[in-house]
Amino acid sequence: MEIAATGALATLNAGDYTVVASFRPAELPRPSEGENFSVIVGRTGWTSDLHLDGDGRFFMQHFLADQTPVTAQSQPLAEIGRWHHLIGIVDRTHGETRLAIVGRLVARAAWTAGSAAFAYPVENPWRLGISTPGDGLCRWAASGELRDVRLYDRALDVHEIARFTPNP
């Protein structure tokens, strides 16, 4: 599913922001073109935001202006057929990318506070479950179900994460 990057969504990646989603994988990603991950929620282009890799690790990825990825990655814990509530946070103010699962912070990656983010072209949409569909090439498609996707134009703090209760 595609969500046009208009209005606030066009520049969301440029500031502090949070991506929230519940995902139930049907299978783990298989290697495709030398890459072994799927996009759960992300912005088309440098495939930032929430992902699942072929080893069962969830990760939140953010790209800096020089195209350096800053990734917070969990241990292998994805269970096929089970819902996983994911919260990916980019806190440019403090220079951190964080990942929380079911209200608990599980990973963080530090970078220089205030670093500029990769500037996505306005025409690059947000996508749910895939990064690049069509033209015979379907890159980084997620296999499973997705629900309760939310995008915030701020970094949720640890107290908000702890109180966040996903829908059953």
Residues 44-55: tens digit of each pLDDT: 776 689 999 999
Return d(Cα 55, Cα 145) in angstroms, integer.
18
Q: What percentage of the chain has pLDDT greater than the value 90?
A: 53
| 121, 125, 126, 127 alpha-carbon torsion, rounded to 10° | -140
Return d(Cα 54, Cα 69) in angstroms, integer.
19
| Contact predicate 142/25, CB 8 Å | yes
- pTM to 2 decimals? 0.89
Domains for the chain: give ranges and CATH numbers: 2-163 (2.60.120.200)
| Residue-wise pLDDT tens digits, 110-135 | 999 999 999 888 888 888 887 654 44
Return d(Cα 19, Cα 31) in angstroms, integer.
25
